[in-house]
Amino acid sequence: MAQYHLRLAHLYGNLLNTYGDEGNILALKYYAQQMGAEIEVQLISIEEDFHADDFDLALFGGGQDYEQLVVSKDLPHKAAELKKFIEADKPLLAICGGYQLLGQYYVDANGQKIPGAGALDHYTLTQSQQRTDSANATRFIGDITIKNKETGQLYHGFENHNGRTFLGPKERPLGIVQEGHGNNGEDQTEGAIYKHTYCSYFHGPILTRNGELAKRMLLQALELKYPTADFSQQKALKIAPTF
């Protein structure tokens, strides 16, 4: 039996899983097993309560405009607990639509301004806003590589998004773009980090190609839940690159 037990909330996983984000859960389970831990997953969807104290990790995936709009209408009922979860330093991974919905607002393809949870400082515009040249008024699609300034690690993935996200003063990027477009195609940032919340436009999914990020999240969750345990062996676990 596993020595450690973690609970993961899959937020709106039945609606926001367009890009195979469930693969991030499979990756977390895989690496958790190597670290002597097991992960119990619970889907939290529309009209279902989310209680921050019940979970150690969370995943907020991406979806199409219609599903994001549906989620945005339910999100106010979960916003306070989401903020509580984030401020408690619990690891959360938000991809694409989930990334946008954690912020202040996003503007959809029809130009409609949709309020987010307000848990993070960023906001998202569409490609057409503030860009008048036809060459740039397109989706950001293609392979992308970024470098995390804190660890020096390179993260590899695939981006496909119409949104242009701009970070707020309390956020730092997940990485600096080495190849690709990133958050907005202008400032060379990709994704966001605030406390132990990680946001990205990487599909693929991100954790299946970047196991060191999965390891980082798992260690943060384990150390928070088991503050007196010795995780030196888990920290020494070698993650083979898969890109």
Is 203 considered catalytic here? yes
**CA-wise closest residue to 174 among 103, 93, 113:** 93
Residue 144 and residue 178: Cα distance in Å, rounded? 7
Does 139 show up as a binding residue in the annotation? yes
Q: Which two tokens stand for residue 77?
A: 């009922």
Which among 10, 122, 161, 203 is annotated as catalytic? 203
Residue 105 and residue 108: Cα distance in Å, rounded? 10
Q: Who contacts 18 (Cβ-Cβ below 8 Å, separation ≥6)?
A: 61, 62, 63, 64, 67, 97
Eight-class DSSP state of 151 = T
Residue 25 and residue 18: Cα distance in Å, rounded? 14
What's the Cα-to-Cα distance from 34 to each of 20, 37, 66, 110, 240, rounded to whole Å? 23, 7, 38, 45, 13
Residue 220 near residue 89 (C-beta atoms within 8 A) = yes
Residue 163 near residue 100 (C-beta atoms within 8 A) = yes
Is 199 considered catalytic here? no
Q: Side chain identity at 196, as an amino acid letter?
A: H
Which among 10, 96, 156, 196 is annotated as catalytic? 96
Helix (H, G, I), strand (E, B) or coil at 190: strand
Q: Which two tokens stand for residue 94?
A: 């938000």
Q: What residues are designated binding site? A: 139
Q: Which residues are catalytic?
A: 96, 203
Annotated binding site for substrate: 139
